[in-house]
Amino acid sequence: MEKQDNKFLDDLSRKIIIESGTESPSVNFSDEVMLEIRALNEIRTIVYKPLISKTSWFFIGISVLALVLYFLFFGTETKTSKWMQSFDFSILSNINTDILPSLSVSKIFTYAVLFFGLMLCIQIPLLKSRFDKRFEV
């Protein structure tokens, strides 16, 4: 039964192919295809924009410079911020003393870690929205 079905399908496909004949492309087929390809390339040009614009970098630089100047001229080593006193670093003193005999955390290190965390919390949503916009149609 299966051989008869296969033979019937084979004969039918041969008949359809012979009746349809072969098609030949037009004279300007390759020129038209190349024009379409060029048109697609012109449409899909990607304009790269920086994640942070020049004006934003300018304001970031000015604010960092202002902070450095403030700490140089008005900050003293004995002066501590009230909000920094609320952090409890006593957990660090419970670390095994054989491995870390004396661990002292400076203010600069603390500020660097806090600044890194803040920048991380800002950059993740910015990058996510940028990549989401890139893949939208």
Task: Specify the pTM.
Answer: 0.30
74 lies in some domain: yes
Give the structural domain span for 63: 54-135
130 lies in some domain: yes
Q: 75-107 b/e with 16+ CB inside 10 Å = b?
A: eeeeeeeeeeeeeeeeeeeeeeeeeeeeeeeee
7 lies in some domain: no
23 lies in some domain: no
19 lies in some domain: no
62 lies in some domain: yes
10 lies in some domain: no
Residues 114-132 pLDDT 10s: 999 999 988 988 888 888 8
Residues 13-61 pLDDT 10s: 888 888 777 777 778 888 888 888 887 776 666 677 888 888 999 999 9
116 lies in some domain: yes
* Count of structural domains, the chain: 1
